[in-house]
Every structure is written in C-alpha cells, then in structure tokens.
Amino acid sequence: MSKNLSVGSVTPQRAHFASPLLLKSGASLPAFDLVYETYGELNAARSNAVLVCHALSGSHHVAGVYGDDPKTLGWWDNLVGPGKPLDTNKFFVVGVNNLGGCHGSTGPLSTNPLTGRRYGADFPLVTVEDWVTAQARLADLLGIDAWAAVIGGSLGGMQALAWSIQFPERIRHALVIASAPKLSAQNIAFNEVARQAILSDPDFHAGHYAERGVVPVSGLRLARMIGHITYLSDDQMGEKFGRQLRHGERRFNYDVEFEVESYLRYQGDKFAGFFDANTYLMMTRALDYFDPAYDFDGSLDAALARARANFFVASFSTDWRFSPARSREIVEALLHNRRRVAYAEIDCAAGHDSFLLDDPHYHALLRAYLENIEA
Amino acid sequence: MSKNLSVGSVTPQRAHFASPLLLKSGASLPAFDLVYETYGELNAARSNAVLVCHALSGSHHVAGVYGDDPKTLGWWDNLVGPGKPLDTNKFFVVGVNNLGGCHGSTGPLSTNPLTGRRYGADFPLVTVEDWVTAQARLADLLGIDAWAAVIGGSLGGMQALAWSIQFPERIRHALVIASAPKLSAQNIAFNEVARQAILSDPDFHAGHYAERGVVPVSGLRLARMIGHITYLSDDQMGEKFGRQLRHGERRFNYDVEFEVESYLRYQGDKFAGFFDANTYLMMTRALDYFDPAYDFDGSLDAALARARANFFVASFSTDWRFSPARSREIVEALLHNRRRVAYAEIDCAAGHDSFLLDDPHYHALLRAYLENIEA
C-alpha cells in the first residue's frame, strides 16, 4: 500500500447529543455521545458524504493512523483514502463508533448519569435500527441532509440496508456487502454459544464486572474463537494451517499441537484484551434481532417498498456465515421493488472476512460503482 | 418401531484385561476393563460377529433397553435388532465402550491403581488406533478371530477404517459412515474451542475435578453446544427452528428469545449431566490425531495398501462436518488399492447426525449390504 494513498494521521471527534433517544426496545437513553472520524472534505453542496458502518468488532477508526503508529491503521484503510476505491479526494467519509460500542461512544463502559456508576449490564439493548437513528442525529449535526452513500460489510451492511428503509430520502446509495436480510437459525446458534461463554464466565458478575475491576476474559476469548471459525472458509483454514503440527511431531497433550489452535488462541487472547463483553453480547443480539421483514408479516419485499436508494450488493463465494444465497434474497426483494441494484458474487477464498480484504476484483467493482456516484 | 424388532432387555458385561496395553503416545496402561454388550448369538463357526464402534458421545449400549425402561434405548437401536438392517437373527453384534470412555470402561473416572485415586487428567491420551487394539483384545476374549464386519459412523467410522489397516486379516467388511480420513483445520478448530471451554472452566481443576466432587458443567455445556451446531445442517436447523420466538414477541434481553437457543441450552445441560470432561477432551484429541496417512508420508493410498476388507462407505449430502468430499477421499484411496467398495452419497437433510437416523434410503442400502455378507 503506497503511503501516498493514506489519509495519514487522524483524530477522533466526539459529538454529544443531549436529547433523549427512544430505543426499539422501549427503553430510552437520556443523552449520549458518539465518537467519529472524518476523512476528506465535505463539499459546499454537502452532497459528497459517505457513512461507513462497522461490524461486530470494528469502530469509527476506519482509515489512517493515530500519530504515526502503523499499528493503529484503520480497519478499512485498504478501501478508504485518496485515490482508493472509496476516494477521499471525492468523498467526505464518516466513520462512527456505534451506540453501545466500546471504542468511545456511549456504551456499557460509560457512566450511567442516573447512578454515577458504569452502566454495565444496565445499558439498554440497542438494535441496528437504533444505530441508524443515532447515526442520523450525527448526520444532522454534520449538516448532512442525505448521504451520497452508506456502506458496510456484514453487520455494517445491515445498517446500510436499514438506512434505506428508515430514512429513504437521506441515502442515495446503499452498499450492502457480505450481509444478510436476517440471521438464520444456525447464525443465531453460533451467537448464542458465544453469549453463553460470556454469561457463564464467573468473572462476568451479571454484567457488572467493570465495577469490580475484572474482565470475563475466558468468555470473551471463547466467543471470539467461535466467531473466528465462522469468519474464515473451511478451504482457507485448510490452506493457511492444514494439519500442520506446531512442534513437528505429535506430543499427545492438550497444549497447542496444531497451528490452527495457536491461531485461534491468539485471536481470542487479543480480542479479550480490548473488547467489552457487554458490548459483545449486545452486538450479537442486534444481529439476531435484525429482520426488516419482521414488521411486514415476514415480507422483505414489503419492508423494502419504502427504499429509494440505488443498491450495490456483494457476496463472497466462500462466505458460509452469510452465503451468497443470503445476498440474493436482498437482491430479489430489491428487484421486486424495481430498485436499481448492482450485484456481484465474488470468488474469494477468505470466507466472510473477504469483505475486509483488498481482493482486486472486489475492489475494482467497488471503485467502479463509487466512481459513478455523483457527489 | 415395532416392539418385535427390538433386542429387548439387555445387560452390559465387563471384561478385565490384566496385561499392559502400550498406547500410541508411548504411555501404557497396566490393566484395563472394557464394558460391552452383545446382541444375537455367535454361530458355531464364530464367523457372524459384527463390531459396532461408537462416536464421541456414544457407548457400548447400542440396542435394546435396560429393564423395560424405554428411555434407556440404545443409541443405534433403529439399526440393530431382529429383522433390522443389522439383523441380530443373523449376526452376533458387539457394542463396546471405548477405553477412556465414561460409561464403564476404564477411563479418567476410574481409580488409578498406582495412586488409589481417580485418574482424572492423569489418564493417558488414547487414540483411535489404541481403541482398535483394545477392541482386538476383546475379540480375542470372545473367541472372534475375524469380524464379519466392523461398522461405525463419524469417529466410529474411523475405527472401522483403522481396523482394516491394523488387523487386515481380522475384518472382512468395514462400514465407514459419515466419516473422514482425517480432520480438516476447521474440524480441529471446533474441537479446540470446545476443549478450551472445558479447560478454562474454573471447576476443571486441571482435570482433577472428580476428586473434589465437582464437574466443569459450564465448559461441558459450551462444548456440547458448539458440537451440536456442527452436527446439524444449516437447512435443518432452519426448518426445525427458523427464527421462531419463544414468547411470540421480542423481549430484548439475553434469556431464551429464539427456539434454537432453548434447544442448544437443553442439549448442553443434558450432556453436562452425564458426560465426563476428561473423556470429552480425549475423544476430541483422538479425532484430531486420527490420520492413517501420517505414517505414510501423507499418502492414504499407502496407508490403505494393507487393507484386505471389503468396504461400504456412505456420506450425507447435508453433512458439513464430514462432507461427502471427505468420504470420497477414502473411496478414491480404496479404489487405487483395488479394494471392493460400495459407496453412497445419501440425500438427507439432517447433517452429520443423519448417520444415527433411520432414513429409508440409507437403511435400505445398509440392509442390502449387510444381507449380502456371508456369516
């Protein structure tokens, strides 16, 4: 990656919203903060803004670095920057940490103004629709009447889809990548095991671990290990690790024997070191609940009837978490509504995580689509 | 299931083996017991014996009931009995609890003769090949020079395959169902998360929980929940549970919301109530290590060159744990060795667990194959 293509050093900003936010669950937040970053310049017509929505473990830090530390590179830096497919010479790009997150926006680790203590488990359950509502408040603050585009992968793609339904006049293009119109029973099952790992960790303390100065490390670690298996394809895991033995021979014990075990433990440990368990629970529940058709007798067609945006939908051949079939459901419902939709099933070996990579065909398609957006 | 087709009330038997068993790991057991059951009569020529090998959570209790309690039905009762595909009017069927198991054979819950205390984590790691060696001792005891057939599904199928390599002259037919010649990296990864769930349970006490009178319930429960997801197909989970809400409406919490969560918790709780955690660790490791090609420079062809049995190999279309492709690897290696092999890919919606069900096509194929065996 050429250094010239980077947005360079970036600084997060914080927006405070003082009026209450009514949530889908019926609960409400009296006030909240959102932490966000922006890249590029908002044009005079305020017509070139693109919102990047993050998935489970992402954040507002989409591109660039903090200071000049290359280790702090944003999670979608390969996509966002000057001359990159989501070109910051053309677009004003906004990344925001979702409500309930653990990267600075108001969430379970924040102080509950009613008690003066951390929310912990008392933080209300937030849904995809609530995130979109909160993001709309940020758009108001930034003076953005309508996004040129809202883009996201996985859970981020669900937010893009929800935007097109909740605020049809405020989004011109929705880019829904490696996503699904709702979770399958198997998807929910994986989430449930991850949650049970956290909930049954003795250090979870019914969600009030932070007050006690502990972290449910084991639970988070297991949750992430389970997740990771579903992010990679069977084939890619095979290519990456196969049955390679760590010590060249079998040792007949439960330490790391196979390289894939080492990888999983590493990913689990890393995640447990920075992610908040209550946020993890909430994010997976937001995934479970997401189902725009729910309020329309199960009809996705009916749910998307309100949408006015143009759509870019992409899926990856080896993604078994949200397979191409799930994206096709979205495309079909859009076509039934005579929406303009570009759809691609991309051959990429990396499974669900493909959406984060810079597969040349994938990025070329995104570039072509985004170049064609008037800003 | 007609009552007439049942083997009826059965009683487990115990065999003691007083001479040491050298294990693949290099460790040895000074002596051991195997608990087993038999159905049907051994004929005068001792030529009609069939060994049924169990998978991860199975046991020697293959068919029939204890007393007259229908809840104690054997795990493969739909297959084994008078007039059933594995017909006990023709065959003398033997079910055995594998070494290291938790259903009566010597295992981690047994007393270590060297210390007078339970083995716990000190029980040596046992492999598929060790099980086969121990089963051969049982065959000796029963006066069975050669099995008419050895049959098993999943991990049980691996034992049938191993029999054909370790004791080529003592097995006439190997029935290898829903199995694989070795685990993939993804298979190992799932096992590793299950193991980590157990190993990180504070009640595990480095494997010596039994001495303390506790059980690592949380870990076992999580391990089983993860396993269960991989036993069922995505489609079947969808058909069985879909996104059905337990309470008819969303309650926005982490209790059971979706039916699939209730199912998983139930399965996890049930399993944690009867299965031993050290046995679970060992069984998954036996799965990980199984790789007959390992000692032959990775060549399954070379590993199977010794085999003399005829083979029946079957896989299930929706099994994503051990997909048909894995069975085809076995078939291919057998064909390269000019072995006689019957192979079927069976359309069955139930995923890996299909091998336990009485799918009519599946059972008809087994019946046809077994009827053709001379006994």
pLDDT digits (tens, 9 = 90+) for B248-305: 999 999 999 999 999 999 999 999 999 999 999 999 999 999 999 999 999 999 999 9
Instruction: Report whether A335 contacts A341 (CB < 8 A).
Output: yes
Q: Which residues of B touch A197 (CB under 8 A)?
A: 197, 222
Task: Report CB contact under 8 Å: A254, B200.
Answer: no
pLDDT in tens, A129-176: 999 999 999 999 999 999 999 999 999 999 999 999 999 999 999 999
Hey, is the C-beta of B11 within 8 angstroms of any chain A C-beta? Answer: no
pLDDT in tens, A210-259: 999 999 999 999 999 999 999 999 999 999 999 999 999 999 999 999 99
pLDDT in tens, A41-89: 999 999 999 999 999 999 999 999 999 999 999 999 999 999 999 999 9
B 71-90 residues inside an 8 A Cβ radius of A: none
Please tell me the distance in Å from B33's CA to the nearest CA on chain A. 22
Hey, is the C-beta of B172 within 8 angstroms of any chain A C-beta? Answer: no
The pLDDT assigned to B375 comes to 87
Average pLDDT over residues B42-61: 97
Residue B303's CB is within 10 A of a number of other CB atoms, namely 23
pLDDT in tens, B137-150: 999 999 999 999 99
The pLDDT assigned to B3 comes to 47
Please, which pLDDT band fits residue B4 given cuts at 50, 70 and 90? low
Residue of B128, B260, B271, B300 to mutate, testing the A interface (most A Cβ within 10 Å of its Cβ) = B260
Residue of A190, A192, A236, A263 to mutate, testing the B interface (most B Cβ within 10 Å of its Cβ) = A192
Question: Exposure string (b/e) for B25-53, b if CB count within 10 Å is 16 or more?
Answer: beeebeebbbbbbbbbebeeeebbbbbbb
Average pLDDT over residues B298-313: 98
Complex ipTM, two decimals? 0.95
Q: How far apart, in whole angstroms, are the C-alpha atoms of residue A61 and residue A132?
A: 18
pLDDT in tens, B53-80: 999 999 999 999 999 999 999 999 999 9
- The structure tokens listed for A69 are 């530390």
The pLDDT assigned to B111 comes to 95
Nearest to A238 among B185, B234, B257 (CB): B185
Please tell me the distance in Å from A191's CA to the nearest CA on chain B. 9
The pLDDT assigned to B5 comes to 78
Please tell me the distance in Å from A254's CA to the nearest CA on chain B. 8
Strands in B173-177's sheet, in edge-to-edge order, are B13-17, B32-39, B92-96, B49-53, B149-153, B173-177, B310-316, B341-346
Q: Which residues of A touch B322 (CB under 8 A)?
A: none
Known catalytic residue at A233: no
Q: Over chain A, what is the mean pLDDT? A: 96
The pLDDT assigned to A4 comes to 59
Q: Which residues of A touch B279 (CB under 8 A)?
A: none
Known catalytic residue at A319: yes
Average pLDDT over residues A182-194: 98
pLDDT in tens, B78-119: 999 999 999 999 999 999 999 999 999 999 999 998 899 999
pLDDT in tens, B178-235: 999 999 999 999 999 999 999 999 999 999 999 999 999 999 999 999 999 999 999 9
Considering A77, A352, A353, A359, which one is annotated as catalytic?
A: A352
Query: Given a cut of 90, is residue A2 above it in pLDDT?
Result: no
- The structure tokens listed for B317 are 């279309």
Please tell me the distance in Å from B318's CA to the nearest CA on chain A. 14
Hey, is the C-beta of B28 within 8 angstroms of any chain A C-beta? Answer: no
The pLDDT assigned to B135 comes to 98
In order, the DSSP letters of B208-263 are TTGGGT---HHHHHHHHHHHHHHHS-HHHHHHHTTT-BTTSS---SSS--BHHHHH
In angstroms, the Cα distances linking B231 to A226, A358, B56, B120, B127 are: 15, 34, 12, 28, 22
Residue of A193, A280, A281, A319 to mutate, testing the B interface (most B Cβ within 10 Å of its Cβ) = A193
Nearest to A188 among B190, B200, B258 (CB): B258
The pLDDT assigned to A5 comes to 78
Whole-structure pTM over 0.90, yes or no? yes
pLDDT in tens, A293-346: 999 999 999 999 999 999 999 999 999 999 999 999 999 999 999 999 999 999
Instruction: Report whether A95 contacts A62 (CB < 8 A).
Output: yes
Which residue of A lies nearest to B223 if distances are taken between CA atoms? A193
Average pLDDT over residues B27-40: 97
Nearest to A260 among B188, B241, B243 (CB): B188
pLDDT in tens, A115-141: 999 999 999 999 999 999 999 999 999
Task: Report CB contact under 8 Å: B241, A185.
Answer: yes
Pick the closest to residue A284 from A371, A162, A365, A197 (CA basis).
A197
Tokens 């982490």 appear where? B254
Q: What percent of chain A has pLDDT over 90?
A: 98
Q: Over chain B, what is the mean pLDDT? A: 96
